[in-house]
Amino acid sequence: MLHLLFDKCALLINLFRTSLLLSFLLLGFNAQAEKDTTKANRLHQLGWSFRNSNPDRLLYYGEKELQLAQTINYDLGIANANTLIAIFYQYETNYPKSLDYYNQALSVFEEINSEPQIASALTNIGNIYFRQSEYTKALRFFNQALDIRIEQNDRLSVYNDYPDIKKFYHEARSFVSINFDNYKKTAFEKLLA
C-alpha cells in the first residue's frame, strides 16, 4: 500500500515537473517573441530616423525589419517595414515601386485593422499619385484618409496633412472641381462638430 502511494506521489511530482518545464519553455518563447518584436520596432525607429538624412540607411533598416518581421510573423512590423522601403523608393522617384510597397503596407494595416496607419498609408499613396500628376486618384486617397481621420477625431493628423493637401489643391485646381477652401471648411467643421 505504501508502495502504491509512493508511485502516485512520484507520478504527481513528474507531472508537476513536466508542466513547470513546459510553462518555462512557453514563457521563454513568449519572451523571445517579445524580444524579436522589440528588435523589429527598434529597426523601424532607426530606419525612420534616417528618412531625411540618409536614404540608403533607411532602406537598409527597412529591409532588415522586413526580414525579421516576416520570420516572426509580426504583421505590424511587416507593414511598417514596407512603409520605410516605400519612402526610400519615393525619395529615389521610383514611384511605381514606392506605390507597390505602400500598397503592401496598406493591405497589412487593413488586415490588422489599424485605422491611424491605414489613413497614413492612404495619404502616402495619394502623395505618390499627386507626384505623378494623377490628381483624380490622389484626391480619392486623400479623401479616404481624411474620412478615417475625422472618424477617429484625429485633429493632429488632419492638421499635419493640411500643407500637403493644400499644395495638392493649389497645383491641381484646374483638374479637380472641388476647391480647397471648401475642403478645409468641411474638414474642420466635421472635427469641431
What is the full DSSP assignment across 38-50? HHHHHHHHHHHHT
Residue 76 lies in a domain: no
Q: What is the model's pTM?
A: 0.74
Residue 83 lies in a domain: no
Distance CA 124, CA 90 (A): 10
Q: How many domains does the chain have?
A: 1
Distance CA 42, CA 30 (A): 18
Helix spans in the chain (H): 2-49, 55-71, 75-91, 95-111, 115-131, 135-151, 155-172, 180-192
pLDDT, greater one: 138 or 74: 74
Residue 4 lies in a domain: no
Distance CA 144, CA 66 (A): 27
Instruction: Decide if 88 contacts 58 (C-beta within 8 A).
Output: yes
pLDDT confidence of residue 153 = 86
pLDDT confidence of residue 193 = 54
The region that residue 94 occupies, defined by phi over 0 for left and psi between -120 and 50 for alpha, beta otherwise, is beta
Residue 143 lies in a domain: yes
Q: Could you tell me the residue range of the domain that residue 172 belongs to?
A: 114-193
Residue 146 lies in a domain: yes
Measuring CA to CA, which residue among 170, 118, 122 is closest to residue 143?
A: 122
Q: 52-79 burial, b for 16+ CB within 10 Å, e for fewer?
A: eeebeebbbbbbbbbebbeeeebebbbb
pLDDT confidence of residue 181 = 54
Residue 187 lies in a domain: yes
pLDDT tens-digit map of 36-92: 899 999 999 999 999 899 999 999 999 999 999 999 999 999 999 999 999 999 999
- Cell numbers 497645383 correspond to 171
pLDDT, greater one: 170 or 105: 105
Residue 12 lies in a domain: no
pLDDT confidence of residue 157 = 82
pLDDT(3) > 80: no
Residue 121 lies in a domain: yes
